[in-house]
Structure 1
């Protein structure tokens, strides 16, 4: 995407992923709602059909779209969400052509491992509920 972005960027993330939730916590602190809207696809009321993508597709790779309807995925979704949050210094390496293939490989590896990382402590553990049961103990 070479043109000026049409904010806000709507980022679809998996709130059940402990590492993802930590990143979202940072983005939420840094970004205004005029630039970044965050949608947790793990919530029971999330309706993937409204996005034009299946929930499985959204879970397999990070997805985001701008106000003009343009979609970005994977590292580009990360890049633009970090830019929306004013984290341009962190985002810059994602644009470096020499580094991009290595980062893409690392991202694909993370996507494969992500479903198996639920054992990691979740930053919102005491506030998250699954199967109509809430975990009152924070494992951090």
Structure 2
């Protein structure tokens, strides 16, 4: 699993497309929370070996609407385990997770937005513990952290 993060509009998606040479001829599936696509629970229903999940922070926001923090943490860890199981089934599979870093800047006044920020940060920590590679993107330039 490859996790890619960085600030909003810092070129994360473009970097992933370039790094993985993703274009119309590439065998991949791109899921975007920004396009209101649901978070994939079961990647085995997808027929592609490269799966990119973009905007995971938006899925976390949806999760905290209906579940407690503890439930979201448990569900998130379970989801990561399922994703890793899918990826590790064959050597050709690669899962790329793209998430915006929403932890910087002014702490939100609204409780829900603070919770979103906190839970997203915890989910990212869980992702990073399990990933093979982590890249931070700044204005289209990557820095490999893991």
- Give the TM bin, normalised by the shorter chain: under 0.3
Name the TM-score, length of structure 1 as normaliser: 0.25
Q: Which has the higher contact order (CA 8 A, sep 6+)?
A: 2
